[in-house]
Amino acid sequence: MNRSLTWLLAWAFALPAQADYLPDAAAAIAVLRQAPAVVQARAERDAQNIKSAALAGGREEWSVAAELAQRRVQTAPRDVQADWGLALSRPLRLPARAAAERTLAGALAAYADAGLDETLHEAGRHLLGLWFDWLKESVQAQWWDEQVTLATRQLDAVNARIRLGEAPRAERVNAEAALGQVRTQQWQAAQRAREAQGRLLAQYPGLQTDAAIALPAPTPPAGTAEAHVEAVLAHNHELARARRHAALLQAEARQLAARRSADPTLGVFYRNETGGDERVLGVSVGLALPGAARRSDQEAAERLSLAAEMAARQVEQRLRHEARTDFEIAVAAAAGWQQAASTALALEEAARLAARAYELGEGSLDQVLLTRRQAIEGRMQAQQAQIAALAAQARLALDAHRLWPGLYADDAQHAHRD
């Protein structure tokens, strides 16, 4: 289809209103960050960061012990004496174990960050789904408003011909019935629009849904499918989370391997014995010898790590297929809209000519009503194809991080890298 026809279709299907058909970026980011699932994920991320900081700093704690004893001397002179003692000790974290736990702490924090970003992305997809549901119903409601106006004009034309004696009174019944059907459709479309708006605002309050929205002409996505796939994988949070989960399990296996060495405990003690005649100050060293349980924990973690790596590779393969399919769907949706829009324009022109001919005393009302119904069906199909194509474009932009920049914590890093 040539460029001039594309612009004609865009002008014919656009509604006079604001220029952007997507939610305001600042408002969308604000409501997404306050979505219940995102708030919960952020709280879990913050809690995990606190735990990670504790793990990196070490979980070893001081231990205080006290003892009180009574000494009985059986030989002469017999005596009873009080003995007591205090001890202070703390496990030592060896350098290899400290490094392994700091690595594990970082992996836990990275995994929590990926979980938050994935939740944000899924919330963004959910918002777009509800937004385009409302957009479809809102545009159809406005379209039926226009049809009421056209049907009213048609009834006026019928009444004018009846007054001139050029049409039987029975045609008024047909025109009034057609107007009644259109008004019913108008009411039902308005009801569906209100319901869709309610679902959207119940989940994401604060979005602007009052003004009519102008729908631009959908265009095929730029670039190639392979380029889009690589862009999606570079930013995909599900894949990042799967990879970070594998890295987490690897770090956990290394930390468990480091724990298989003996754990030393260093302490000092003081004892008061024989009623205070003997006082002892000393240093104690203990070793916790690892057993089979630690070896089993390490082996289990290593196997889980391998399984997580395989799962991450499978996620990458699936996402490659999904991204390529989404790109192809967007291409096909844009082409489908152009075909449906061309058909709709032809049907509307036929309906306009039939109505004009009737006003001039030519043709029949049945032909006018038939061509009008066909034009309505054609326009509705074209509008649905238009919104589906725009939704596909928005989905591509969201998945490639070209929609709502600044939504994710790593957007600045990606922008610098790109």
Predicted local confidence at residue 150, as pLDDT: 81
| Average pLDDT of the segment spanning 330-336 | 93
Q: How far apart are CA 259 and CA 297, in angstroms?
A: 10
Please say whether the beta carbons of 349 and 371 come within 8 A. Answer: no
Q: How far apart are CA 311 and CA 178, in angstroms?
A: 59
Q: Does residue 417 register a pLDDT over 50?
A: no
Please say whether the beta carbons of 241 and 118 come within 8 A. Answer: yes
Percentage of the residues of the chain whose pLDDT score is greater than 90 = 38
For residue 193, which amino acid is it?
A
Q: How far apart are CA 378 and CA 156, in angstroms?
A: 24
| Average pLDDT of the segment spanning 75-91 | 81
Q: Does residue 312 register a pLDDT over 70?
A: yes
Beta strands in 274-316 (DSSP E): 278-288
Please say whether the beta carbons of 244 and 107 come within 8 A. Answer: yes
Question: Taking the chain, what is the end-to-end CA distance rounded to the nearest angstrom?
Answer: 34
Per the structure block, which two tokens stand in for 100?
Answer: 């392994």
Residue 6 pLDDT grade (very low, low, confident, very high; cuts 50, 70, 90): very low
Please say whether the beta carbons of 207 and 27 come within 8 A. Answer: yes
Q: Does residue 43 register a pLDDT over 90?
A: yes
Q: Is the peptide bond before 16 cis (omega within 30 degrees of 0)?
A: no
Predicted local confidence at residue 145, as pLDDT: 85
Q: Does residue 13 register a pLDDT over 50?
A: no
Cα–Cα–Cα angle for 238, 409, 131, rounded to 5 degrees: 70
Q: How far apart are CA 61 and CA 339, in angstroms?
A: 73
Who's near 110: CB < 8 A, 6+ residues apart?
244, 247, 248
**What residue has token string 């054609």?**
378
Who's near 376: CB < 8 A, 6+ residues apart?
147
| Average pLDDT of the segment spanning 389-413 | 82
Q: How far apart are CA 260 and CA 255, in angstroms?
A: 9
More confident residue, 118 or 15: 118
Predicted local confidence at residue 59, as pLDDT: 82
Predicted local confidence at residue 211, as pLDDT: 65
Phi/psi of residue 166, nearest 5 degrees: -100, -5
Beta pairing class for 63-73 and 278-288 = unpaired
Residue 409 pLDDT grade (very low, low, confident, very high; cuts 50, 70, 90): low
Phi/psi of residue 268, nearest 5 degrees: -125, 150
Predicted local confidence at residue 274, as pLDDT: 75
Count of CA atoms in the C-beta half-sphere (13 A) of 44: 16
Report DSSP state, residue 164: T
Beta strands in 170-296 (DSSP E): 263-273, 278-288
Predicted local confidence at residue 7, as pLDDT: 42
CA 212 to chain centre: 26
Per the structure block, which two tokens stand in for 81?
Answer: 């004496």
Of the listed ranges 58-67, 325-334, 392-401, the one predicted with least confidence: 58-67
Predicted local confidence at residue 118, as pLDDT: 93
Percentage of the residues of the chain whose pLDDT score is greater than 70 = 92
Give 365-382 pLDDT, tens digit per residue.
Answer: 778 778 888 888 888 889
Please say whether the beta carbons of 120 and 411 come within 8 A. Answer: no
Which residues partner with 217 through β-bridges?
none
| Average pLDDT of the segment spanning 341-348 | 90
Q: Does residue 412 register a pLDDT over 50?
A: no
Closest-CA residue to 94 (of 293, 312, 290, 367): 290
Predicted local confidence at residue 414, as pLDDT: 43
Which residues partner with 86 through β-bridges?
66, 270
Q: How far apart are CA 308 and CA 96, in angstroms?
A: 25
Q: Does residue 14 register a pLDDT over 60?
A: no
Please say whether the beta carbons of 179 and 152 come within 8 A. Answer: yes
Give 206-247 pLDDT, tens digit per residue.
Answer: 888 876 677 888 889 988 999 999 999 988 999 999 999 999
Q: Does residue 76 register a pLDDT over 80?
A: no
More confident residue, 7 or 303: 303
Q: What average pLDDT does the structure give for the chain?
A: 84
Per the structure block, which two tokens stand in for 284?
Answer: 């104690």
| Average pLDDT of the segment spanning 32-52 | 92
Closest-CA residue to 147 (of 366, 390, 355): 355
Please tell me the pTM assigned to this model: 0.80
Q: Which domains does the chain have, with CATH numbers?
A: 3-62+93-262+291-417 (1.20.1600.10)
Residues 74-103: b if buried by 16+ CB within 10 A, e if exposed: eeeeeeebebeeebebebebeeebbebbbb
More confident residue, 70 or 281: 281
Q: Does residue 415 register a pLDDT over 80?
A: no
